[in-house]
């Protein structure tokens, strides 16, 4: 009898916070993979605005709104490739917005391949509506009172409100 294995992908990021741009990539990756793990990973070059606990709460809410049987949420402080291997994933998903992303992702790709070439990376082009969004830009706009409700899910909006209130004190 033929044994079919679930095709699992990892979608790693700092997600500080998760945006509709990330969610678009997540939804599209669910067309190719049976299960996608949204992985809160560490970029040592970044200091996060939201705590890991807060970012996990936002990711869990997104998973709940989508398809929680096919979207898992987890966190890792180690190498994403090692995480992928130990969770039987076949690929790491990333989004590409513009040329600077290509250069950055090319570097990550090379690093990941150096660690273990058996884990593929799959890149989705950000769609036009989302290709200008970044987590930093959203935080900056929200802080200045710009309505970002079309750029992030509702729970993220409430977290952004809290940051705005604290920084105005």
> Binding ligand COA by CB under 6 A: which of 68, 118, 129, 136?
136
Considering only residues 60 to 89 of the shown chain, the ones binding ligand COA according to CB under 6 A are 79-80
Least distance in angstroms from the C-beta of 127 to ligand COA: 9
Residue 88 designated active-site: no
Piece of 51-59, 67-75, 133-141, 155-163 that binds ligand COA (CB under 6 A)? 133-141
- Beta-carbon contacts of 67 under 8 Å, excluding residues fewer than 6 positions away, are 30
Residue 46 designated active-site: yes
Question: Residue 19 interacts with ligand COA (CB under 6 A)?
Answer: yes
CB of 17 within 8 A of CB of 156? yes
Nearer to ligand COA, 35 or 156 (CB): 156
Separation of alpha carbons 10 and 33, rounded Å: 10
Nearer to ligand COA, 16 or 35 (CB): 16
Residue 97 designated active-site: yes
H helix or E strand, kind and range, residue 98: none
Please give the C-alpha separations between residue 82 and each of 46, 110, 115, in angstroms, as whole numbers. 21, 15, 8
Question: Per-residue x/- mask for ligand COA, residues 43 to 62, rule CB under 6 A?
Answer: x--x----------------
Separation of alpha carbons 83 and 86, rounded Å: 5
CB of 33 within 8 A of CB of 9? yes
């Amino acid at each position: 009898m033929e044994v079919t294995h679930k095709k699992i992908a990892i979608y790693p990021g700092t997600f500080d916070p998760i945006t509709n741009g990330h969610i678009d990539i997540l939804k599209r990756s669910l067309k190719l993979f049976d299960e996608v793990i949204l992985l809160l990973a560490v970029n040592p070059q970044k200091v996060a605005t939201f705590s890991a606990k807060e970012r996990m709460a936002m990711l869990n809410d997104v998973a709940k709104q989508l398809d929680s049987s096919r979207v898992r949420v987890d966190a890792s402080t180690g190498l994403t490739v090692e995480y992928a291997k130990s969770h039987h994933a076949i690929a790491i998903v990333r989004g590409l917005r513009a040329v600077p992303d290509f250069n950055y992702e090319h570097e990550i790709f090379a690093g990941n391949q150096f660690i273990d070439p058996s884990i593929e990376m799959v890149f989705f082009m950000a769609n036009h509506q989302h290709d200008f969004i970044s987590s930093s830009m959203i935080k900056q706009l929200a802080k200045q009172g710009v309505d970002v409700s079309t750029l992030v899910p509702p729970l993220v909006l409430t977290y952004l409100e809290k940051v705005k209130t604290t920084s105005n004190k």
